[in-house]
Amino acid sequence: MQPSPRFPVNSDRLTRELAHLAAISEAEPPIVTRVVFSQADLRARAYVQQLCAEAGLTLRHDAVGNTFARWQGTHPHLAPVATGSHIDAIPNAGAYDGTVGVLGALEAIRALQLSGFQPARPIELVLFTSEEPTRFGIGCLGSRLMGGVLSPDQASALRDPDDRSLDSLRAAAGFSGPLETVRLAPGHFHAFVELHIEQGKTLERDRLDIGVVTAIAAPASLWVTVHGEGGHAGAMLMPDRHDALAAAAELILALEGAALATTAIDSVATVGLCEVFPGAVNSVPSRVRFSMDVRDTDATRRDRILEEFDVAARHVATARSVRITQETVNADPPALCDPAIVAAVESSAIEAGLKSQRMVSRAYHDSLFVARIAPVAMIFIPCRNGVSHRPDEYASPESIAAGVQTLAATLWKLSA
C-alpha cells in the first residue's frame, strides 16, 4: 500500500469545538462535569450531532443512546470502519478525556472528505453512552452492551444513586427500544480505532507524539461494606468498640499494600468513594461502604491483589469483630489490540513524520469492549504532566492535530 498522504486537518476549528464542548458542563468552566443523561450530556450530544450533520454524516442511535454517524462508502454493504469514544465526564473532570476521540474523529473524517478521498467501506463515528461509571457504577455501559459483555437484564437492573433505572433515564433522554438490539455481532465492524489522550506521563516524558496501543488493562471494580457497631463517641469506651470506619481504614491500606506488593508498575488500586453511616461527628461509625478499583495489564496479577485483600479482610473481621461483605461490579480480562490495525496506526504515524512507540493503556476505554466484536487499536496523544480526570487536564492543539492526522491516515488505509 502506498504511504498515506497528509490530510488537511483544521486544527483551529477543532480547538474551538473542543472548547465549546468543554463549556457544556454541570459545573463552572474550566471544570467539566457531564454525567450521562444529565442535561449537560444531552446538550453535548446535540452539539456533536449537529456538527456531524453539518459534515453530511447520517445519524442513528441505538436503544441505550450509542450514537452512530456514518459517512457512506462507495460499497455501503461492506462492514464499516469505526472510530469514536465518549463525551460523558466524571465530576470535576477536564476537557479532553473522550472528547478528543469524538471531535478528533469528526475532524479526521472532514479532512478525508476535503482531500477528495472516497472510502469504499463506510466510516462510522461512534459516540458511546456512559463510558464513565459515575451514574450507574459501571464503566463502558454502552460498549459493554454492544459487545455482549453486559446482558440487557443486567443493564435494566442498574439504578443510579437516586434509585432511577437505566430504562427510565434512557427513555427520558429519548432512547427507546429493547436493549437486546444494542448488541452487535462479531464482524459488524471491519475495524475500530479510538483516539484518546494517554492519561499518563509516558509520551510527554519521552517526547513522543503518538502512542500505539497494543493492549488495554484489565479493570475490576467492587464495593466493600464493613458492618460494625455504632455508639456514642464519648460514652462508648475504646475496648468496647467495633468501629466500622477504623476497620475500613485498615482495609484500604491493605489494598494499597497488596497493589504495591506485586512490584509491577502496572498494578494499581484505588478507593475513590467511601460512605460512612450514620455520618455524625459524635457517633461511632456502624457501617462503611467503599469502592475498590483494581487494575493491571495482567489479569492474574490483578486477581492476586484481590486475593491478598480477601486475606486481609478475614484478618480484620476477626481482629475487630466486624462483618465484611463484598459485591463485585465487574472483573474484565484485558484486551489485546489487533496486530494488523496496530500496524496500520504505526505506519500512519511514521509516514506523518511523527515519533511513536508501542505501549499499553492503563485506563480502560470503550475499545476494551468493542474488542469482543471487532479488531481494535488505539492512538494515544500526550497530555500535560499525564494529568486526567481533573480540570487542569490539557492536550495541545499540535498534539491533537498529530493524533487526528494519524487517525485519518489509519481510516484511509482501512476503508480503501
How far apart are alpha carbons 156 and 217 in whole angstroms? 27
364 binds ligand HGY (CB under 6 A): yes
Reported as half-sphere exposure (CB side, CA atoms, 13 A), residue 133 has a value of 17
**Closest CB 12 distance from ligand HGY, rounded Å:** 27
Cβ proximity of 352 and 6 under 8 Å = yes
Q: 371: how many CB neighbours lie within 10 A of its CB?
A: 24
**Closest CB 328 distance from ligand HGY, rounded Å:** 17
Please select the residue that binds Mn ion; options are 41, 62, 97, 332, rule is CB under 5 A. 97
Q: Between 97 and 308, name the residue whose CB sits nearer to Mn ion.
A: 97
Q: How far apart are the first and last CA of the chain?
A: 10
Q: Which residues pair with 376 in a beta bridge?
A: 192
403 binds Mn ion (CB under 5 A): no
Cβ proximity of 209 and 356 under 8 Å = yes
Please select the residue that binds Mn ion; options are 65, 84, 94, 98, rule is CB under 5 A. 98
**Closest CB 322 distance from ligand HGY, rounded Å:** 30
Q: Between 119 and 139, name the residue whose CB sits nearer to ligand HGY.
A: 139
Q: Between 167 and 332, name the residue whose CB sits nearer to ligand HGY.
A: 332
Q: Between 306 and 368, name the residue whose CB sits nearer to Mn ion.
A: 368
Site for ligand HGY in 151-180 (CB under 6 A): none
194 binds ligand HGY (CB under 6 A): no
How far apart are alpha carbons 8 and 164 in whole angstroms? 45
Q: Is the torsion defined by CA of 107, 69, 47, 209 positive or negative?
A: negative
Instruction: Look at residue 394 and give the partner it binds from ligand HGY, Mn ion, none, a contact being a CB closer than 5 to 8 Å depending on partner kind.
Output: none
Q: 124: how many CB neighbours lie within 10 A of its CB?
A: 26
Cell of 206: 519521552
Binding mask 15-54 for ligand HGY (x = CB under 6 A): ----------------------------------------
Phi, psi of 414 (to 5 degrees): -80, -20
- The DSSP secondary structure of 324-345, one letter per residue, reads EEEEEEEEPPPEEPPHHHHHHH
Q: Which of 284, 125, 135, 279 is nearest to 194 (CA)?
A: 125
Q: Which residues pair with 359 in a beta bridge?
A: 213
Window contacting ligand HGY (CB under 6 A); options: 131-139, 208-216, 351-359, 368-376: 131-139
**Closest CB 405 distance from Mn ion, rounded Å:** 21
Instruction: Look at residue 139 and give the partner it binds from Mn ion, ligand HGY, none, a contact being a CB closer than 5 to 8 Å depending on partner kind.
Output: ligand HGY
Please select the residue that binds ligand HGY; options are 146, 363, 370, 400, rule is CB under 6 A. 363
Q: Between 124 and 132, name the residue whose CB sits nearer to ligand HGY.
A: 132
Q: Between 100 and 363, name the residue whose CB sits nearer to ligand HGY.
A: 363
Phi, psi of 284 (to 5 degrees): -65, 125
Q: Between 71 and 364, name the residue whose CB sits nearer to Mn ion.
A: 364
How far apart are alpha carbons 200 and 361 in whole angstroms? 9
Q: Between 125 and 197, name the residue whose CB sits nearer to ligand HGY.
A: 197
Instruction: Look at residue 107 and give the partner it binds from ligand HGY, Mn ion, none, a contact being a CB closer than 5 to 8 Å depending on partner kind.
Output: none
* Total residues binding ligand HGY (CB under 6 A): 5
Q: 370: how many CB neighbours lie within 10 A of its CB?
A: 28
Please select the residue that binds ligand HGY; options are 124, 132, 167, 393, rule is CB under 6 A. 132
**Closest CB 389 distance from ligand HGY, rounded Å:** 7
Helix (H) or strand (E) holding 224, with range, is strand 218-227
Q: Between 41 and 346, name the residue whose CB sits nearer to ligand HGY.
A: 41
Please select the residue that binds ligand HGY; options are 139, 230, 285, 391, rule is CB under 6 A. 139
**Closest CB 131 distance from ligand HGY, rounded Å:** 6
Q: Which residues pair with 295 in a beta bridge?
A: 219, 268
Instruction: Look at residue 364 and give the partner it binds from ligand HGY, Mn ion, none, a contact being a CB closer than 5 to 8 Å depending on partner kind.
Output: ligand HGY
Q: How far is CA 234 from CA 230, 311, 383, in A?
A: 12, 33, 49
- The DSSP secondary structure of 195-257, one letter per residue, reads EEE-SSSHHHHTT-SEEEEEEE-EEEEEEEEEE-B-EETTTS-GGG-B-HHHHHHHHHHHHHH
How far apart are alpha carbons 96 and 159 in whole angstroms? 28
How far apart are alpha carbons 345 and 106 in whole angstroms? 17
Site of grid cell 506488593:
261
* Total residues binding Mn ion (CB under 5 A): 2
| Site residues, ligand HGY (CB under 6 A) | 131-132, 139, 363-364
Residues near Mn ion (CB under 5 A): 97-98
